[in-house]
Amino acid sequence: MKFIVSTTSLLKSLQMISGVINTNSVLPILEDFLFEIKDGKLTGFATDLETSMSTEIRVESKETGRIAIPARILLDTLKTLPEQPLTFKVDTKTFGVEITSETGKYKLSGENPDDFPKIPQPEAVTEINLAANLLSNSISRTLFAVSNDDLRPAMTGVLLKVDNEGTTFVSTDAHKLVRLVRSDIKASKASQFILPKKALSLLKSGLPSSEASVNVSYNKSNAFFSFENTKLICRLIDATYPDYNAVIPQNNPNKLTVSRLEFQNALRRISIYSNKTTYQVILSIAGSELKISAQDLDFSNEANERLICNYEGNDMDIAFNARFLIEMLGVLDSNEIEIELSTPTRAGVLRPVDKADSEDLLMLVMPVMINA
C-alpha cells in the first residue's frame, strides 16, 4: 500500500485526535493511530476504548488498505519536518512502514490493523444539529465545574437534558455548580445523559470557532459528534446525576451588582495574600461599597480593596474560595454580574447581567466558614 500526503495537513489532523491516546495504555495497540486509505482519502483513528476520534484528509493514492502506526514516533517525526509531500509505503504482510521525504527515509514497525478496537457505530440514535460556536461556548461555561472525584462518577461529566423546549447543561463538584439552559438547542425526543470530561475537552479544542454545523446523535450508551472532517465518539457515564435543583437556594433577598472585570481583577490580587489551603476571601457588603479582604496568618500576609457596587439588602460578611469565583467570572463575557445572597452560610447564586434571550445561566458557589 502506498500513499502521498502533505506534512502539514497530516500533522494538523493527527494532533487533533492525538489527545485521545493515553501514554500508559493497557493494550499497546491503543498507542497507535489506525490509518485507513479509501477513495483517495486517509482516515485516521485514535481510541482509548472510552473515547474515539477520527479525521479525514485527501491523499494521493489509488489503493485501499489499513495499517496501525505508533502515534508518538510518527508525531515526533512530522513536527520536525518542513512542509512537503511525504510518501508512505506499507508492507501489508510484515506491517513495516517506510516514510520518504525530500531529504530522508524513515522506517518503523506498524501493527496489524485487525487488532485495532472496533469503533462504535450510531444505532437507534436521536439527532440534534447546532452551531459549533454555540456548542463550544456551552462546554466552556460548564466544563470547569466538573468534579475530578472518581468516587462520584456522575459528577465527573456534564449532564445534558434535552427536549422540545431546549437543552440544559449542568456541572458540579459539590463546591460550585453551573446550570445553563439554552432554548435554541432542541430535540424531538426528551432524554438526558452525562458526557465525560475528557471527551468534552477534546471536543472543545477541536471545534471550529465558526457557525459550522455540528451533528450530535446519541443513544443509551454512546454520543456521536460530527463536524467538518472530524468525528468524536464517547461512551456515556452510566450513573444517576444528583438532584441539582434541590441545592439552588430560591429565596435570596440580598442582591449585589458589580463590574465583572473589576471584581475579577480585585480577587486575583487579594487572593495572593490569602491562605493557600482555603484561598478564603471575605466580601463585606454595606450600602454601595464592596470590601474584599484576605489574610494568611501563617505568614502575616493581609490585603483588602474596595469596589463601588449596587447592593439591595442587609449588610453582610460572607467568605468564598477566591479560585472558584475567579473561575466563574473567567467564563463569562457580561460587563456586570449579579450575586444573590441570603445568609453567610448559604450558597451564593451568580448570574450575568447581560445575556442572550436564548440562554439562562446560573452559577452557584458554596461559602466557606469565616475564620474567627
Using alpha carbons, select from 21, 20, 34 the residue that is nearest to residue 65: 34
pLDDT of residue 370: 83
Q: Is the pLDDT of residue 372 over 60?
A: no
Calculate mean pLDDT across residues 206-230: 93
Q: Does a structural domain hold residue 370?
A: no
Q: Is the pLDDT of residue 202 over 80?
A: yes
The grid coordinates of residue 72 equal 508518538
| Residue type at position 13 | S
**Structural domain of 323:** 248-365
pLDDT of residue 124: 87
Q: Does a structural domain hold residue 120?
A: no
Neighbours of 218 (CB within 10 A): 22
Of the candidates 217, 245, 273, which is a domain's last residue? 245
pLDDT of residue 187: 87
Continuous segment of H or E residues that includes residue 123: none
Residues 163 and 81 grouped into a single domain: no
Residues 80 and 154 grouped into a single domain: no
Residues 227 and 161 grouped into a single domain: yes
Local confidence band at 229 (pLDDT 50, 70, 90 cut-offs): very high
Using alpha carbons, select from 50, 49, 56 the residue that is nearest to residue 16: 56
Residues 224 and 253 grouped into a single domain: no
Of the candidates 89, 115, 141, which is a domain's last residue? 115
Local confidence band at 140 (pLDDT 50, 70, 90 cut-offs): very high
| Cβ atoms of residues 119 and 54 within 8 Å | yes
Using alpha carbons, select from 287, 291, 309 the residue that is nearest to residue 353: 309
Q: What is the pLDDT of residues 143-178, one digit of tens each?
A: 999 999 999 999 999 999 999 999 999 999 999 999
Q: Does a structural domain hold residue 158?
A: yes
Continuous segment of H or E residues that includes residue 138: helix 132-143
Residues 241 and 262 grouped into a single domain: no
Q: What is the pLDDT of residues 72-89, one digit of tens each?
A: 999 999 999 999 999 999
Q: Does a structural domain hold residue 192?
A: yes
Mean pLDDT lowest among 7-11, 195-199, 209-213, 301-305: 209-213
Of the candidates 245, 277, 309, which is a domain's last residue? 245
Q: Does a structural domain hold residue 170?
A: yes
- Residue 254 Cα distances to 267, 268, 278, angstroms: 21, 24, 25
If one counts the domains in the chain, the total is 3
Task: Give the CATH number of the domain where residue 18 resides.
Answer: 3.10.150.10
What percentage of residues in the chain have a pLDDT greater than 70?
99
| Cβ atoms of residues 97 and 110 within 8 Å | yes
Cα radius of gyration (the chain): 25
DSSP state, 245? Answer: G
Q: Does a structural domain hold residue 121?
A: no
Calculate mean pLDDT across residues 15-43: 94
Selected residue with higher pLDDT from 371 and 245: 245
Q: Does a structural domain hold residue 371?
A: no
The grid coordinates of residue 243 equal 438532584
User: Any residues with CB less than 8 A from the CB of 252 and at least 6 apart, and which?
Assistant: 340, 341, 342, 349
pLDDT of residue 190: 92
Residues 274 and 325 grouped into a single domain: yes
Q: 3-class DSSP state for residue 78?
A: helix
Calculate mean pLDDT across residues 215-232: 95
What percentage of residues in the chain have a pLDDT greater than 90?
91
In the block, which residue shows the cell 456551552? Answer: 138
Calculate mean pLDDT across residues 77-102: 96
Longest Cα–Cα distance of the chain, Å, equals 79
Calculate mean pLDDT across residues 247-256: 94
Q: 3-class DSSP state for residue 45?
A: strand
Q: Does a structural domain hold residue 95?
A: yes
Q: Is the pLDDT of residue 98 over 90?
A: yes
Per-chain mean pLDDT for the chain: 95
Local confidence band at 371 (pLDDT 50, 70, 90 cut-offs): low
Calculate mean pLDDT across residues 293-307: 94
